[in-house]
Amino acid sequence: MSLIELSSANELAVLAELSGSVFENEATRDLGNNSNLLKTSGLLDLQVNGFAGMDFNTSGLSAEVFDYVLESMLSTGVTTFLATIITGTEAHLSACFEALEESRNYSQLAKSMVAGYHLEGPFLSTLPGYSGCHPVEKMNVVDSEMFLRLQESAGGNIHLVTLAPEVEGAIPFIEKLVRDGIVVALGHTAAGSEIIRQAVDAGALLSTHLGNGTTAELCKNNNPIMDQLAEDQLSASFIADGYHLSPEVLKVYLRAKESKRTILITDATAATSASPGRYRLGDIELSLGYETVICSPETNRPVGSVVTLDQCVRNVMRWYDMPLKEAVSWAAENPMQLLKSSKAQTLLSEQEKAVWWEEHSEGWHVKAARSGKFLFKA
């Protein structure tokens, strides 16, 4: 495996080698095309807390380690992502954003891959179950001035905010974020249908990891999952690892949201693409065994995930007998469309992003991935 920096001297030759093996879709190959690669858009992950041993929820991030993490992520077909910071004190959140922004400005690969940041919290429900792994003692009512200070620490690059619309001050805050070109998502919420409708009317566009960040027992007629599924203006992101949602439950949710409003995410942690051991998500200790799920040693409940986005694509293809390009659209075109309403749109349209897939007995795997002038080749 290698990472190649494309230049005027080598770009044509490197890409020609790949292009000579590309077919347009599964059908053309079946018609006798001898090519063995399928080219799609690059994958875009809206929710990455960490990867390859590195937690983004720390002030100790270095540019050198960041580049290693990005190379590992590019090998899974992710050409663009939002680094995600979860609930913490204002001082901690600011330090995390400053470390990310410093590393991003230092690294040319990061400038190509990191479209900005996703702030998940601290304006979330404090109720048991709904709070998930977020530390309740560090949650806040909505504080617009605090957000402005965090945005300054992030270099103006917070492009997605997940919040619970029932938190005090949330509805006018949603309206302000939307005016400022920031995408608003609902998550970790116990809100009823009326408040969810107010949030949608205020401009919320997404449900974050819908079906998770909720209590285990819900009323069948009045619960935040059903209310969000019923809102046709809300897209929904899902963690398609088979643990956060079973394939059967996800199938029902997909029927409500339909293909055009479905987005695949990973909610990846530092343990993703890493060896079994102990990792962190902010102040939370995580334990990774040999199963493909990350748990809290205290509760033994899943916290974030260790799935990669290309594996999510393979999963939904296998579960629902889908063609590759439709599955990829849930992890590429659909999140791209969502971010077009944000200030990240300029970066998203500036650079070439693509993935070349090769079919194996266990499904389609990433053969090469391009993010701007950087190309990963397996």
Domain spans in the chain, listed from the N-terminal domain onward: 40-377
Q: Dihedral sign, CA of 38, 41, 45, 51?
A: positive
**Omega cis (within 30) before 122:** yes
- What does the alpha-carbon distance between residue 98 and residue 151 come to, in Å, rounded to a whole number? 10
pLDDT at 300: 66
Q: Spell out the residues 6+ positions from residue 49 whose beta carbon is closer than 8 angstroms to its own.
A: 55, 56, 57, 84, 85, 86, 267, 268, 269, 270, 281, 304
Q: What share of the chain is helix, strand, coil (3-state, %, to 5)?
A: 35, 25, 40
pLDDT at 349: 65
Decide: 229 and 362 in contact? Cβ < 8 Å.
Answer: no
State the fold for domain 40-377.
TIM Barrel (3.20.20)
- What does the alpha-carbon distance between residue 292 and residue 242 come to, in Å, rounded to a whole number? 10
User: For the whole model, what pTM was predicted?
Assistant: 0.93
**pLDDT by residue for the chain (378 residues), tens digit each?**
688 777 766 766 777 677 655 544 554 444 334 468 899 999 999 999 999 999 999 888 888 889 999 999 999 999 999 999 999 999 999 999 999 999 999 999 999 999 999 999 999 999 988 887 888 889 888 999 999 999 999 999 999 999 999 999 999 999 999 999 999 999 999 999 999 999 999 999 999 999 998 887 787 888 999 999 999 999 999 999 999 999 999 999 999 999 999 999 999 999 898 888 888 888 777 777 766 677 666 666 677 799 999 999 999 999 999 999 999 999 999 999 999 877 776 667 667 899 999 999 889 999 999 999 999 998
Q: Dihedral sign, CA of 264, 303, 140, 83?
A: negative
User: Which SS3 state, helix, strand or coil, does residue 109 take?
Assistant: helix
Q: Which two tokens stand for residue 17?
A: 């080698």
pLDDT at 284: 77
Edge-first strand listing for the sheet containing 294-295: 277-281, 284-288, 294-295
Q: Spell out the residues 6+ positions from residue 246 whose beta carbon is closer than 8 angstroms to its own.
A: none
Q: Dihedral sign, CA of 154, 177, 147, 304?
A: negative
- What does the alpha-carbon distance between residue 32 and residue 35 come to, in Å, rounded to a whole number? 9
